Each structure stands twice: as structure tokens, then as C-alpha cells.
Amino acid sequence: MKFIINSQTLLRRLQSLSGVLNSSNTLPILDDFMFELTDTVLNITATDLETTMVITLEPSMLEEPGAITIPAKLLLDFLKYLPDVPLTFSIDLNSLAVEITSSDGKYHLTGHNAEDYPKLPQLADTAKIEISSGLLASGINKTVFATGNDELRPAMGGVFFELTPDYLTFVATDAHKLVRYRRTDAKAEESTSFIVPRKPLNVLKNLLIADDTIVSVEYNITNAAFSLQNVKLYCRLIEGRYPAYEAVIPRDNQNRLTVDRQIFINSVKRLSPFANQSTHQIRLRISGQELQMTAEDIDYSNEGSERLNCTYEGEDMEIGFNSKFLLDMVTNLETDEICFNLAGPTRAGIILPVNNENKDEDILMLVMPVMLAQG
């Protein structure tokens, strides 16, 4: 088994694959990349049994097809410090000896038997949808941060994909915040839904680019596979029913606060260090056309306060939010202004973009308030 490939090309692809690997594995073979050479291409695979990713490369030379697994960390640590040079991999499949040759050096390591590596998932009875890379990237980026970590509610540990003949909706929630991102320019022939875990989505979003490249998504009741250009990512879906998210979105929040998004972000960032480090609470006092934002940590006598111009329609109000949640949400909106629809200091607030130019995009963010600290 022998092939020649550019060092930096290989490094970039392996770094993408490394997002699949776990830091500790019960099976030592899962610490490896599998290299499989065919008559025409080189396929490299990484898996943690739940998520599997395959990248296809075209070496400048290849001969003697075969397969071997190579320790991932050793290979990555080696490639990081190489200049951009061709590398020749010569592999003895009997002894599992791997020799790597560059213009200035020769390196030896031992691989492992590819027969021991987990087989690729086989998806049967699948349905399929095609989505543009840019749309899928937006859907993931605008929702995945809102997924939860509660082991007792595993369904919240992923993004809910809801496909209908009219639109595609991405939903994520951890019970403290919720994001619903809907696109009317992506549709499925039949209505269905599934929950994709957070980890494969974080791997996938680093591969997607904001263009019209088509991503093919195949899915059945247990697995999904995302295919784009020279990459295929398989993942096991989360079992269980997703929370009835529409039921928790308030419809009667009559108090409407509109504020410049970037000014608001900068203010929250400046005030956050002064907030209590367990609640991260920032207090919003809204009166007339003025928003006063305050953060304080009574235990350490830290306090910060700022006044912002705003447009407000409603009754004077005081409400507290977790500053980390606010930043997570507002930084994932793109309009110049944002709007908070509020009902009261103990009721969920809705955050919406103002004058969104993309008419195919509908995004809604919900954030629960934190109890106002007395002081």
C-alpha cells in the first residue's frame, strides 16, 4: 500500500476529522484514523461509534490498494510542524509498519489492523432532502448554541429538524433559552422530524461554507448522513420526542423594546464582569425611551451601570436576564436593530431581528428571565 500526498492538504483534512474523536475511548482503535486506499482515491475515516466521518482525497500517486489504521494524535502532532511538502506513505500490511518519507526526512510508526475498525453505518429505508450549504450552516450556527446538557432530557441535547412541504425548521432549547429558525426556501416532500446531536453538528458547521453548494441529507428513524463534496458524515439520531416548543412561545408579549444591536452587545460585554458570577444577571430598567442596564455583585461590591437610547412601547418595566444567554442569542442575529417583546419580569421574553432583509428567513429567540436580585 503506497501513496503520495501533500502534507498541508492532509493536515487540514485530518484536523477536520479530529473533531469526531473523543479524548478517551474504551476501544483503543477509536484513537486512530483509518486509511483506505482504492484504485482511485484515499478515504480517511474517524469515528466515536455515534458519529462517523469519511473524507475522500485524491493522492498524486497511489498503488497497491489496502487499509490500515494510524494513531491520530501521533500523525497530527507530526504533520503540524512540517512545511508544505509531498509525503510518501509506504505501508507493509503484513507487519503494519508505516514509513513516511519527505524530501528531508524519514519517519517510522506502527499502525493497526483495519479489520478491527468499526464498519461504516449502513442506512436502509432512507428519505432524502437537499439543502444549500449556506442555509444549513445558518440553521446550525443560529441554533446549536442553545442545545442543553441535561442527561435526564437527552432530546434537548440536539437540534430538532422539522421538515414539511412548506418549510424547514431548526429548533434548539435547554429550557432556559430557545431558538426557532425557519426557512421557507427549503422544503421536503413529506413532513417528518428528527433530532441531530450537538457534536456532529459542531463538526459539520466547520465544513460548511456560505454558498449554494448542495448538501445531501439522508435519514431514517435511527441515523442521518450528510454528504457534501468530498465529505460524508454519519450520525446516530437522538431517540425520543422533542418538547412541544410552539406551546412555550408566548403570543401576547405587548411591551416592545427596540435597540441598536451592536450597541446593546457592547454594553452587555462591558457590564458582564460586574455581574454576579453564578447568576450572570443584568438588570434592564425600561422607562420612556431610555434603557438603563445594571450589573452588580453584592458579595464583592462590584457594580456597573449604563444608559442606552431605545424605542419602547409599553409599561415601564424592570427585568433581569443572564448576560451569557443574551450574548449567545443577540450575536447570532444580523440586523442593525433587535426587538425584545416582553410581558413582565417573570415571563419569557422574545428577541426578534428588526427589518430582516432575508424574506425566506424567520428567526425567533426566547429567553427566560432570572429572578431580580434585591438591592
Per-residue pLDDT, 210: 82
267 and 229 in a common domain: no
Per-residue pLDDT, 263: 98
pLDDT tens-digit profile of 55-99? 999 999 999 999 999 999 999 999 999 999 999 999 999 999 999
- Beta-strand ranges (E) seen in 59-191 are 61-63, 66-71, 86-92, 97-101, 106-110, 112-113, 127-132, 158-163, 168-173, 177-183
Q: Where a domain ends, among 247, 282, 299? A: 247
Is the pLDDT at 38 greater than 50, yes or no? Answer: yes
173 and 92 in a common domain: no
95 and 201 in a common domain: no
CATH value at residue 337: 3.10.150.10
Give the domain extent around 74. Answer: 2-116
Per-residue pLDDT, 106: 97
pLDDT tens-digit profile of 105-131? 999 999 999 999 999 999 999 999 999
Per-residue pLDDT, 95: 98
Give the type of residue at 128: K
Per-residue pLDDT, 72: 98
- Give domain status of residue 375, yes or no: no
148 and 232 in a common domain: yes
Q: Which one, of 75, 69, 77, 66, lies nearest residue 47 by Cα?
A: 69
Q: Where a domain ends, among 82, 116, 150? A: 116
Q: Grid coordinates standing for 89?
A: 506513505
Scored b (16 or more CB within 10 A) or e, 235-268 reads bbbbeeebbebeeeeeeebebebbbbbebbbebb
Distance between CA 175 and CA 248 in Å, rounded?
Answer: 10
Domain count, the chain: 3
Distance between CA 311 and CA 313 in Å, rounded?
Answer: 7
Cα angle 151-154-157, degrees, rounded to a multiple of 5: 100
290 and 241 in a common domain: no
Distance between CA 235 and CA 98 in Å, rounded?
Answer: 30
Q: Grid coordinates standing for 61?
A: 500517486
273 and 261 in a common domain: yes
Q: Where a domain ends, among 229, 247, 265? A: 247
- Give domain status of residue 80, yes or no: yes
Per-residue pLDDT, 375: 47
What does residue 335 show for φ and ψ, rounded to 5 degrees?
A: -80, 160
Task: Compute the chain's Rg from CA coordinates.
Answer: 25
108 and 156 in a common domain: no
- Give domain status of residue 180, yes or no: yes
- Give domain status of residue 121, yes or no: no
Is this model's pTM higher than 0.85 or not?
yes
253 and 163 in a common domain: no
Distance between CA 282 and CA 293 in Å, rounded?
Answer: 7
